[in-house]
Amino acid sequence: MKRGVLLLLGLIGAAVITALIIFLVRSAGDSAPKDKVLKIWSPFDEKKIYQEISRDFTDANPGVGLEFEFIDAKDAKEYEARVVNAIADGDGPDIWLVRNDWIPKHAPKSLAAVVSNPEEDPIALAKTKIEPALVDLNVFENKLYGIPLTADSLMMLYNLDFYNNVANAADEAGKKTLGVTPTTWSDLSSQSAVVSQRKEATIQRSAIALGTVDTTFAPSDVLTAFMTQAEVAILTEDKKNVGFNLARFKGGVAEFPATDVLDFYTSFARVDKSNYSWNDTMGNPIDTFVNQKTGALIGYYSTLQTILNRDPNFEIRVVPLVQRQEKTDRVDYATTWSFIVNSETTQPQLSWNYLSYMANELVQQKYSEKTNKPPATKYNNPTIIVPSLKLPSEAAELVRLQFRTAKQFVKPEWQQTDEIFQDAIRQVVILGKTAQNSADSAAERFKIFVTP
């Protein structure tokens, strides 16, 4: 009996040991891949798409797992806040998607480009795959922080039926003005003055949805585009002073570029201007555009898609973004959604290997085909941007051509900068302050970004 008991106990003990071994092996198997898991967060609900375009990367890196998480948020501010809080709590992603103008704010807690060969220049290497100007948008203090997955650029969108009707009823001088596609700020102002009709402050016919904060499409981006063209900078190069409102001398003559930008932008929403065309009573700019109540707006390629999704037969034409002056090198405004690496990642080299993979043309092309978003890769079409009305089908080409001439505008902190810009617009349009006074007030607020 005792022998049987001992035998039974032996069998039970052996079973327990075997189960324990199996548990430990399985636990090791579960934990080992986690050391090579990259957590990737995005505000776009495209988890399946990311998985599909990343398949070659996972195939080439056995044992590496990619965990994609869609961060549900009502807007960009909430998305950013959720990621930042998660990182602060030690539970954030290895990689997350940001707009390029967020990079200066997040650079201190992000990991600049890591390359396997220390002799390689990561910026130059990225420019062999990505449009060089778009790479520059992701460089801060001479370090590459982001790899753009997709990009977009501001352009002029015209309601063709609207403008044809106006031109048909115009006098000869009006027909001549409307017959020329605007290429400069001055052209746009002159054309708007011909098209717009008003009775005192009431707008009876609007040329373009431009000049306000609450009813202009992407007002901060449009104002920033014009600031970029005027070569405005918030801080001086040494970051020890605010340069935003300072004079610039050319030929011994002082000019105030930030003031000029604010004056031009707000002129479309000021009753005392001949090109007065828009105000806050006009409503949503896209709705107004589609409903034939305004003739034009400044928007992105994605804006064009939104309009055509609502009405595929809408007679719309696209034109390159107007420039500050004629006979100068083009300066366009582009934004990218880029992957950056959390500095607290446990897989720095692997993270940047993934970002390098995402820069490949075939990967970006797959993503573009699945999302209808323009890729950020180099565009080999040599066509020069022609300032003429183009069909919507040509907009994809136009936007990629504008990527080549995109310039960076550094926002030390994007949310605060945008708020200051918007308040500067309101001061001129609503409070009646001069553009110079508004620029001075903005400069005073920008002092929070000065390096002690």
Q: How far apart, in whole angstroms, are the C-alpha atoms of residue 158 and residue 177? A: 15
Pairing state between β 155-159 and 296-299: antiparallel
> In terms of pTM, does the model score above 0.75?
yes
Q: What pLDDT score was predicted for residue 174?
A: 86
Q: What pLDDT score was predicted for residue 175?
A: 87
Q: What pLDDT score was predicted for residue 35?
A: 58
Return the amino acid letter for 412: P
Q: What pLDDT score was predicted for residue 310?
A: 92
Q: What pLDDT score was predicted for residue 59?
A: 95
Extract the tokens encoding 349. Answer: 């080299």
From first to last of its 452 residues, the chain has per-residue pLDDT tens of: 444 444 444 444 444 333 433 333 333 333 334 458 999 999 997 889 999 999 999 999 999 999 999 999 999 999 999 999 999 999 999 999 999 999 999 999 999 998 778 788 999 999 999 999 999 999 999 999 999 999 999 999 999 999 999 999 988 888 888 888 999 999 999 999 999 999 999 999 999 999 999 999 999 999 999 999 999 999 999 999 999 999 988 878 899 999 999 999 999 999 999 999 999 999 999 999 999 999 999 999 999 999 999 999 899 999 999 999 987 899 999 999 999 999 999 999 999 999 999 999 999 999 999 999 999 999 988 888 888 889 898 999 999 999 999 999 999 999 999 999 999 999 999 999 999 999 999 999 999 999 88
Residue 299 CB partners (closer than 8 Å, separation 6+): 154, 155, 157, 217, 218, 286
Domains of the chain listed by start with CATH number: 29-145+335-371 (3.40.190.10), 155-330+401-449 (3.40.190.10)
Residue 69 CB partners (closer than 8 Å, separation 6+): 39, 40, 41, 42, 47, 93
Extract the tokens encoding 76. Answer: 């960009």
Neighbours of 249 (CB within 10 A): 8
Q: What pLDDT score was predicted for residue 9?
A: 43
Helix (H, G, I), strand (E, B) or coil at 313: coil
Q: What pLDDT score was predicted for residue 28?
A: 35
